[in-house]
Structure 1
Amino acid sequence: MVLSDRSPTATRLLRSSASHSYDPEVEIDWDAPLLPDAFFAPEHRSSLYGTPLWDGLTPEQRRTLTKHEVASIASLGVWFETILMQLLLREYYRQDPTAPHAQYALTEVADECRHSVMFGRMIEKLGCPVYRVGAFDNGLGKWIAATATGPRMYAAILIAEEILDSLQREAAADESLQPLVRMVSRIHVIEEARHVRYAREELARQVRAAGRSRLAHDRIIIARAAYLTGRRLISPEVYRSVGIDPRVGARAARENPYFRETMRWAGEKVVAFLKDLDLIGGPGMALWRRSGLL
């Protein structure tokens, strides 16, 4: 990857932010009713698609399941974005506030504030609960937010952002889906493209600056972030919405070849990028395999 100087890249991203940023309060018609017969995600992306459990659901239950799966993904998105905002603010605290790189970090925080509000409003509009991570992962998230720097910081960000980006690009282009989901996806995809560019370039710089022992430790943290994203993108609790025991549903999803292919497809770009930077390997490989992203 050819890296340009930080400042010109940040300046371009600042200009793009000024020209292509959206206010979800204005751009989305939050009062519009949901369509009664439209799915919330493509059927073939549902975690149970193609399983006997899916075959046993009515069309209405299948739509309900995709609605709760979208809410689960949005809930994890809010959780990751809250951590990201803390990371960026810690980075900004040490930087020159007149530098374009520092100013873009604040601009991204502003974007993520709007995205988190947008995801929260969508979850409320869908009538779904907020699907939160467990106590261990919540504690891990707090630790990362307070301490993460360098490669593990930007790699963890990219894993979450790029998997969500793949799913939302497909959803934004699918005219059969709920207009609300398509519009939320479209806004997020457009603005996240800048964030991915920023994180990819910064991650490559951080890897070049890090020592061998630092990268060995960071690979384990990155693998844990991949495991969390892959295994908790769809909370087991979503299956209660259609009368399926969460343990039964989660097991079926993990063993479902269609959903395993979806996870590999969603993660293929970021996995390839992290492999190129030698950030996948060592003791963390077991977590990567269990994540479903390889």
Structure 2
Amino acid sequence: MTSTSATGTGVLDAEDVSLRLLDSAAQLSYDPAEDVAWEEELDPKLYGLNPQWSTLYGTDLWNEMSEDQRILLTRHEVCSIMSTGIWFEMILQQMVLRDQYCKDSSDSDFQFALTEIADECRHSIMFARACTKMGIKAYLPRRMSIELGRGFKALASAEAAYGGILVAEEVLDVMQRDWMRGEDVLPLVRTTSKIHVVEESRHMTFARQQMRERIEGKGVARRKTSALVVAIAARIIVSNMVNKGVYAAAGLDTDRAVREAKNNAHHHMMMRTSSEHLMAFLHDCGLVTKPAEAIYKRLHML
């Protein structure tokens, strides 16, 4: 927090990030219950996400699929990504609440943290309703990932916690900026993506500021540990974004689909594109060490 007081009046520094974010939230926030056209019929010819973001786009299997299969696959993929988003937003909320526990409620950091939690609750409900509207049940992370997430939300703190938050937000942000502009994407997905992009931009700014403050002046050992924790969090998040069940739901051979998705050079390139700003920021914070770099490369984020 960078606030200062003058003669007891609580005059805030003009550079106070959280105060500016609170002002932004007051001026531009959404209510998904009212701002999404939930009753609108789904056009059977429109995708769940831009085809270029499908894990199979550009593969031999993609070329063999019918148009109906491609549409169905992308709808299941976007619901898998939304389900992963809900899972991590629940982790995020618990970490932020724990971080702000018994802190000064007059502090703008505290107030924006609670504003972010309120946003995330609405986002999770919005994603759940979108999946229900598409007739697709939630895709849950793998059991091991669920347990690792349980440990992460209970133990991660400071720059490691906010780093994990930033990973999830940044990668999804780039994807959704494309989806919200996709003319061949369902209006339901375009609108929910727009809402998420606008409000998550404030969350990312807050996470970056928290990371800068928490890592400033810390020693090499602390940075190495945090770098590894953030990279492991990235692995858990990214590896669970698209559940392999989406392939069976689209009538595909799951083993073949998983194999082709794993070796899909086009999707690897898209992942690197979505991670560019994140990787640059982590480098600036000294949080990309050799072990962390190896994990990011395996995830095709570098």
TM-score bracket, shorter-length normalisation? over 0.9
Residue 47 (structure 1) shift: 0.7
Q: In the alignment, is the contact (CA less than 8 A) between 1:231 and 1:292 conserved in 2? A: no
Residue aligning to 1:222: 230
Pick from 105, 108, 126: which aligns with 1:100?
108
Equivalenced residue count is 291
Larger radius of gyration: 2
Q: How does 1:1-294 map to 2 (within 5 A)?
A: 5=2, 8-294=16-302
Q: Which moved more, 1:222-231 or 1:140-149?
A: 222-231
SS at 1:141 equivalent? helix
Deviations along 1:149-192, whole A, 9 cap, x unmatched?
A: 11111111111101100011111112221100000001000100
Q: Which moved more, 1:117-126 or 1:206-215?
A: 206-215
Return the letter of the residue paired with 1:17.
A
**Unpaired segments of 5 or more residues in structure 1?**
none
Return the letter of the residue paired with 1:235.
N
Residue 230 (structure 1) shift: 2.7
In 1, distance between residues paired with 2:294 and 2:95?
27
In 2, distance between residues paired with 1:244 and 1:149?
41
TM-score normalised by the chain length of structure 1: 0.95
In 2, distance between residues paired with 1:221 and 1:140?
11
Residue 94 (structure 1) shift: 3.6
Deviations along 1:1-25, whole A, 9 cap, x unmatched?
A: xxx9366211111111111111100
Q: Runs of 4+ in structure 1 displaced over 3 angstroms? A: none
SS at 1:49 equivalent? coil
Return the letter of the residue paired with 1:41.
L
Residue 285 (structure 1) shift: 3.1
Deviations along 1:65-98, whole A, 9 cap, x unmatched?
A: 1001100110111011100000111111141011
In 1, distance between residues paired with 2:125 and 2:159?
28
Deviations along 1:76-130, whole A, 9 cap, x unmatched?
A: 1101110000011111114101111101100100000000000111111111121
Return the letter of the residue paired with 1:137.
S
Deviations along 1:196-231, whole A, 9 cap, x unmatched?
A: 110011111111143322222112211111222332
Return the letter of the residue paired with 2:294.
A
Q: In the alignment, is the contact (CA less than 8 A) between 2:182 and 2:190 conserved in 1? A: yes
Q: Which moved more, 1:102-111 or 1:234-243?
A: 234-243
In 2, distance between residues paired with 1:289 and 1:247?
24
In 1, distance between residues paired with 2:255 and 2:84?
19
In 1, distance between residues paired with 2:218 and 2:87?
27
Return the letter of the residue paired with 1:225.
A
In 2, distance between residues paired with 1:225 and 1:200?
16
Residue 272 (structure 1) shift: 1.3
SS at 1:173 equivalent? coil
Q: Percent identity?
A: 38
In 1, distance between residues paired with 2:74 and 2:233?
24
TM-score normalised by the chain length of structure 2: 0.93
In 1, distance between residues paired with 2:156 and 2:253?
36
Q: Which one has a larger percent helix, Structure 1 or Structure 2?
A: 1
